Structure 1
Amino acid sequence: MSRHTEAETRYQSTRRVTLVGAFTNGALAFLQILGGLLVQSQALIADGLHTLSDLASDFLVVFAARKASAPADQDHPYGHGRIETLTTVLLGLVLLGVALGILIDASNRLMEPETLLAPGPIALLLAATAIIAKETLYRYTVRIAKSISSGMLLANAWHHRSDVLSSVVVLIGIGATLAGFPFMDALAAAIVALMIGLMGARIIWRSASELIDTGIKPEEEKQLLDLVSGIDGVTGVHELRTRHMGNGLLADIHVEVDPRISVSEGHRIAESVAQTLRQTRDDLLEVLVHIDPEDDRAAAPSSHLPSRSELLNKLRLQWQPIPGALPMDEVVLHYLDGHIDIDLHLPLDRFESAADAEKTRGDIIRVSQEIAGIGQVRVLLS
């Protein structure tokens, strides 16, 4: 399945479950708020407002899912997964706003007993109905969220679960009020507000961690490093870095290989590393493999050394007086530990005798090492 097809499938699943939630939340919010007004229950009204915030967040989730499913483009080369993250933060802020409003109203009524509401028995039935409906919606949403690995949808599911818990508190508060404790309805509303606020804060914290590029856990990182270390051709591994992007993960890793292998072999090893990591974690969207000829954390840097064209110009000047040294054939440069090692091929048919070839070979090594930064020089006669 292509990445775009997978994104479209995720969007359709998110859209379906969210529309179910929107219909359920809309009906419940209407019943709770209207019922709360009719039977004089502040806790039930507060719970209805909480449900109404779910309805608003449902539409926000559908919008974000549509945008996040869009394929990568020139302005967003890594895709649009962070839209889900941003929406999750907004969901958390909505929860905090609802919580603050309910808490202020409940606190005012607790401080002024004459404003306390006195709910009727029917409020218990409405609270129980809300509990059953919201718990069913929570379980349905969690199942879909896990099947498509959507953090945003999972956050919305927990929004539903917070509704369940708040409705339980409302049920208890209304029951206690009917039993002769008039302040319990307002107290239940305040407790609901605190629960909503705590849930919102947790959602914001998790999403903020993603926005500031928090990586995977150390034990997960060690597992991946150990896995890569065992791949054929890998001599060392370091600097694994990860960050979350919506429902996926981006990673880059430094892999050490034999410094004298070909570029194509090094590329083949990099492909093997990326493929192995993707097979290990389904959430890996992108893996960038940096091939190192040595552990660049410990070795001397080579950035000060001359480039290939600059060095070859210097070598030509040094080799020009040497019979048979030019033209240069198959010169391979190895930038290692702050110096340059040279491997080159010298055809024997340029010389009248093996002795002449050996003399040229020795002269090339000698004059080449007179250039600053040159390390070992190996000349292959064939």
Structure 2
Amino acid sequence: MLARARDARHREASRVTIIGAVIDFLLGVAKLLAGYFAHSQALIADGIHSLSDLLTDGIVLFASRQSSHGPDAEHPYGHGRFETIATVGLAVALVLVAAGIAYDAARRMFEQDVVSEPGVLALVVALSSIAGKEWIYHYTMRAAKRHRSEMLRANAWHSRTDAFSSVIVVIGIAGAMAGFTYLDAIAAIGVALIIAHIGWSLGWNALKELADTAVDERQRGLLRESIMGVDGVKDLHMLRTRHAGGQVLVDVHIIINPHISISEGHHISEVVSHRLLKEFEDVTDVTVHIDPEDDEEEAVSLSLPMRGEMLKRIRRQLEGHTEAGRIERFTLHYLAGKVGVELLMPFDDASQPDSCRDIERQFREALAADPLIESLRVYWY
């Protein structure tokens, strides 16, 4: 299912980007030709700007292809970060575009002869560019929202910056035709600041993602509520999340009854994982750790002997008890820095309730001196 989702995401991102690239190319050529014949230096510069977008479109196509690959040996969590890196690149491009527009505007404020007397053709092409770029923006943004792609969102805003720059050209051309040569430069600086702000916001969010920033408190609360709604989950801790190219990875420790079987505990963890993947569209990977107690602050049982050594210890203390040979199964519970011992013994025809209780008493007395053993239970069948 996740592989199909990645493929669909890649196909739509590629389709959107290719359509945008074709329109960028056609608009770029139209601006260059119209700028040349209509004597508009601003429109020629805007045409070069549109053609330069083909480079960012190429970056988006490459990143989309890479991020569509599933997990492998070198990338066990998938390739979603390729999209994040591309978003950073596009954000840098937006800031550079803003800087270029601001520089050009400042230069034109002091060089009045840069803006000549363009014709109506330049105005028509510039207006057409605004309409075309706005269409690309909305088309790409819809795809970005459907697939929660910050990379496509960044590319959509990059397209809108072209519309902004074309607005500057329209103002410049209209101002030049009306004699207000400073009007386009002032508008250009204002738009440059808007573009720089957009670039900074997109880049900062992508950098936070690269730094494994968690989801916000609202979504964290929803995740916690969903986990606690699973039957068998007593509590949770160490709920950790991070983003990877529009996806959310979740890691959580759940506390369950320490006396249930391993298979039941595993089943509870599987239900938690499935529930999060089903209820949250952006969650694509869930790791659930099973804890019998809250060990977030300190693992108090970590220094206790492992099972093999602990069984040797128990058997040594039960030596001399003939009934110890009838023990069929040992179950050890490591809780609160102590070991709880459960024994399974057969109840045969010769066994009587009094003799069973006597055996249990003898075993408890034999193990009572061990400081590591917290309790003993004997189960008869």
Structure 1 residues 289, 75: CA separation in 2 closer, same or farther (over 3 Å shift)? same
Structure 2 partner of 1:260: 259
Q: TM-score, normalised by structure 1?
A: 0.92
User: Distance in 2 between the 1:99 and 1:117 partners?
Assistant: 23
Q: Does the 8 A contact of 1:47 with 1:192 survive in 2?
A: no
Matched-pair contact (CA < 8 Å) for 1:225–1:238: no
The answer as to 2:221 corresponding to 1:222 is yes
Residue 231 of structure 2: aligned partner:
232
For 1:14, the equivalent position in structure 2 comes to 13
d(CA) in 1 for partners of 2:368, 2:60: 66
1:164 paired residue number: 163
1:213-240 deviation per Cα after TM superposition (whole angstroms, max 9, x unaligned): 1121101111121122121111112222
Aligned residue for 2:293, secondary structure, equals coil
How far did 1:300 drift?
Answer: 6.2
* Kept after mapping to 2: 8 A contact 1:42/1:185: no
Query: Contact 2:235–2:256 (CA<8 Å) still a contact in 1?
Result: yes
1:328-382 CA distance string (max 9 Å, x none): 4221111111111111112244976554443332121122232222111112234
Q: Structure 2 CA distance, aligned partners of 1:293 and 1:50?
A: 61
Contact 1:57–1:91 (8 Å) recurs in 2 = yes
Aligned-pair distance for 1:183?
Answer: 2.0
| Residue 136 (structure 1) shift | 1.2
The 8 Å contact of residues 172 and 181 in structure 2, kept in 1 or not, is answered as no
- The CA distance in 1 between the partners of 2:304 and 2:137, in whole Å, is 62
Q: After TM superposition, list the pairs within 5 Å mapping 1:86-235 onto structure 2.
A: 86-235=85-234
Letter in 2 for 1:254: H
1:380 aligns with 2:375: no
Structure 2 counterpart of 1:81: 80
**What is residue 26 of structure 2 aligned with on the other side?**
27
Q: What is the aligned residue count?
A: 381
Task: State the Cα RMSD in Å.
Answer: 2.3
Cα separation, 2, equivalents of 1:196 and 1:117: 26
* CA shift in 2, pair 1:116/1:163, >3 Å: closer
Which stretches in structure 2 are left out of the alignment for 5+ residues? none
Residue 378 of structure 1 aligns to a residue whose secondary structure is: strand
Q: Name whichever of 203-212 and 163-172 sits farther off.
A: 163-172
Equivalent-residue separation in structure 2 for 1:36 and 1:102 (angstroms): 17
Letter in 1 for 2:291: D
Q: What's the counterpart of residue 61 of structure 2?
A: 62
Q: Judging changes above 3 Å, is the alpha-carbon distance between structure 1 residues 301 and 53 closer, same or farther for their aligned structure 2 residues? A: farther
Matching residue's letter, 2:319: Q
Query: Percent identity between the aligned chains?
Result: 41
Structure 1 gap ranges (5+): none
* Partner Cα separation in structure 2 for residue 298 and residue 373 of structure 1: 21
CA distance in 1 between partners of 2:35 and 2:19 (Å): 24
